[in-house]
Amino acid sequence: MVLHPLFYQLLMVARILICLLIHLGLPDKPLPLPQPPLEPHKRRRTRSQEPKPFPGLIHKPLCEACAQGAEVHSQVPGAPPPLIRFARGRRRTVDTHAHFCPDPNCSYHGWLGGGNIRANRHPGGQPWRQLQCVSCNGYFYETHGTI
């Protein structure tokens, strides 16, 4: 059976019409889903401007032994430790009267001009000196405690 050429032409026109209907009838991009309206941002809570007490002072010790230990550490020594004077060797040239030992276990902790601080060196070629407490042999930089 031989098909007529008109049949092929009609088949071609039908294909073109189907392509046009698909192109025009179906969108290329899917329709966006409706989104709920955006809620305004909640304002952050502002911090309280009231001063808060130091947390170490409001806690009670766990037992009686801890309470006795807290009383011992809270007492401030009455008199400063004796001044240290070195009679032998070269006199110290670096003024360390404005520094004190930062170690809380040292007897010279917090006392200025006790003679217990000596300048050690500039470690690693840094501009700040390393200081040493003669009493507890602790090391710290001369910028310790500054901002």
pLDDT along the chain (147 residues), means of 10: 79 92 77 78 79 60 66 55 76 80 86 83 81 88 74
Question: DSSP for 100-119?
Answer: -B--TTSTTBT-TT-S-EEE
If one counts the domains in the chain, the total is 1
Does residue 107 belong to any structural domain of this protein?
Answer: yes
Give the domain range for residue 147. Answer: 91-147
pTM tops 0.95: no
Does residue 17 belong to any structural domain of this protein?
Answer: no
DSSP code of residue 135 = T
Does residue 118 belong to any structural domain of this protein?
Answer: yes
- What's the pLDDT score for residue 75? 44
Do the beta carbons of residue 53 and residue 85 sit within 8 Å?
Answer: no
